[in-house]
Amino acid sequence: MAEKSGMITIAGRPNVGKSTLINRLVGEKIAIVSNKPQTTRNRICGIVNRGDCQFVFVDTPGFHRPRTKLGDYMVNVTRQSVSQVDAVLLMVEPIAHVGAQEAELLGQLKQGGEPVILVINKIDTVEKDTLLAVIAAYAQEMEFAAVVPISAKSGDGVEDLLAECSRFAQPGPHLFPDDVTTDQPERQVMAEIVREKLLWCLEREVPHGTAVEVNRFSERDNGVIDLDVTIYCEKASHKGIIIGKGGGMLKKISTMARVDCEKFMGTKVYLQTWVKVKENWRDSNFLIRNFGYRDE
């Protein structure tokens, strides 16, 4: 059989389940997930092989109103990612109303001209009759190439979604080796895993003001990974919260992160973490780029 490949962007508002879907499609955790908005900051590719077809799914930051230069960067990443691809998945919640963020995204998608599949996520949370009203509301806004209800959490409908995506795959060689699951360097995945645990363990604005930098990523002769990580926050008071009483919070975050790092790497990981303050780094172009958030 001739090989085919398809580059497909997943777009939608924050917390709609884009990262959960990409992890489900790939079959392992490559994108971090939390119950807080704007968890994803970078463009992340997940590679899925089905027979002769390779899908490259692009996970994007949730489309939102930016309040910092980091927010501007995240919105720009989303805008760039929905153009020049084979198809776009517009992921929405099962609500029979087109929100302002979805309407703005739809406007961009209409201009781009790429085929758009409407993906209604979280169908396990509503009655089936509700879906008809959701489909009707979105059908008034745009003609979609397909409409696929799914639950990214349980996997319901995900294979149907892949079948729809295969219609837009183009003849040609695969873009990545068949044993690769993501375009992210291993050290970047490790940094994101640590940041995920910050999002899960910390409240309010503290985790959104953090960045994670891997200072050392080395493998011993016996396969053990040595990982030294610095967590940056914006205020001295936030540093105290991250470290916690007697270092308890930092230990909790590090332990949770180490477990997931070991799952991803398939080997033992020796993780050391430090916390430093970089005031207002989210409004510094230099620091944003220094922490790995680059447009190119």
User: Which tokens sit at 167?
Assistant: 């219609």
3-state secondary structure of 151: coil
Q: With contact defined as beta carbons under 8 Å apart, do 61 and 77 qualify? A: yes
d(CA 203, CA 291): 22
User: What local confidence, expressed as pLDDT, does residue 67 receive?
Assistant: 47
Which pTM does this prediction carry?
0.67
Using H for helix, E for strand and C for coil, what is the string for 17-46? CHHHHHHHHHCCCCCCCCCCCCCCCCCEEE
Percent of the chain with pLDDT over 90: 40
Q: How confident is the model at residue 70 (pLDDT cuts 50, 70, 90)?
A: very low
Confirm if 42 and 34 have CB atoms less than 8 A apart: no
Give residues with Cβ within 8 angstroms of 212, minimum separation 6. 191, 192, 194, 195, 198, 229, 230, 231, 232, 291
Q: What is the mean pLDDT of the chain?
A: 82
SS3 16: coil
pLDDT tens-place string over residues 223-263 = 999 999 999 988 888 999 999 999 999 999 999 999 999 98
Give the rounded percent of residues in the chain with a pLDDT score beyond 70.
Answer: 80
Interval 120-131 mean pLDDT: 89
Beta bridge partners, 231, equal 212, 275
At residue 288, the pLDDT reads 56
Task: Calculate the alpha carbon distances from 55 to 27, 144, 250, 251 in Å.
Answer: 13, 20, 38, 38
**Confidence band, pLDDT 50/70/90 cuts, at residue 160:** very high
Q: What mean pLDDT do residues 83-100 have? A: 87
pLDDT value for 82: 44
Token pair for 172 = 């040609």
Residues sharing a CB contact under 8 Å with residue 219, sequence separation 6 or more, in sequence order: 225, 226
Q: How many residues does the chain have?
A: 296
Residues 6+ apart with CB under 8 A from 199: 32, 34, 36, 39, 207
Say if residue 216's pLDDT is above 90. yes
